Structure 1
Amino acid sequence: MAGSVFEFELKTLTGEPYPLAALAGRPLLIVNTASRCGFTPQYAGLQALWTKLGDQPNGLVIIGVPSNDFGNQEPGEATAIGEFCDRNYGVTFPLMAKAHVKGREAHPLFKWLGDQGGFLSRPRWNFYKYLTRRDGTLQTWFPSTTTPGSSKLVGAVEDAL
């Protein structure tokens, strides 16, 4: 089993490799996202957090991972997902290719995050959030109902920084 988030690789919306090792030393906020969900407006809060903290040297990196695992709420392909996020929320943080985040087909990163956080941390809906420390270990996780601007999440991010 991996010991660090930095041992995983994702694919970008355009299919390019996105090795998390390139982000070593930075805290990450990894979020499973969807475009047609009641929590979709959280993109705005994620973008605000990214704008505030992502530009700092060794600052927070927010990574959105679209998933269609819950309620068929991300049925689009990569181009449609990117256009939706840009047009509606001005998203500039990294967005990855659509991936499974639960079950046997879950991306290894989400299997690892669920193992690290325990049973209750496994995504049960869109917009679960996972915060990792600079050393690549899981610091904490947040359910869909925790907004990106909540004092609980912002406080944890500030601790990670």
Structure 2
Amino acid sequence: MALRIIVKDPDPVLREKSKPVPKITPNIHKLLNDMAETMYDAEGVGLAAPQVGVLKRVIVMDVGDEHGLIELINPEVIEQEGEQFGPEGCLSIPGLTGDVRRAQRVKVKGLNRHGEEIVIEGTDLLARCILHEVDHLNGVLFTDLAEATYRGEPKEEE
């Protein structure tokens, strides 16, 4: 495993659409391992491959709940319901927080590192994280959706 450099906005790679992973190879396993190590080192709760300069549909997340580390390849949001409104930050936009409206509950399907289809359901912070990371795969940043942005730490409700 190795730490990767986190790409910072306004790097154009963050605005590109990621390509699906056609086959899970040892390089994809290494990418997943490196992304998880990089996310934990940066004290983040999620990281998408474009944030380490790789335009592949791969995300990792760990919001500190019972799911632990979630690795998703070719994730696709299949259900969304409800609404939550609160602060988000991003490892690619350090020091900036924004108030973003997201679904309260989401269901996403994708592949795990073994190529098996998995379905993850999340609410609250996990739902927010899933949607935030999937947005990265489509070249969308939280600042595109934020109703307000501010410098510094998020206000309460996270």
Decide: shared fold, TM above 0.5.
no
Structure having the higher strand fraction is 2
| TM-score bracket, shorter-length normalisation | under 0.3
TM-score norm. by structure 2 comes to 0.26
Larger RCO (CA within 8 A; separation ≥ 6)? 1
Structure having the higher helix fraction is 1
TM-score norm. by structure 1 comes to 0.26
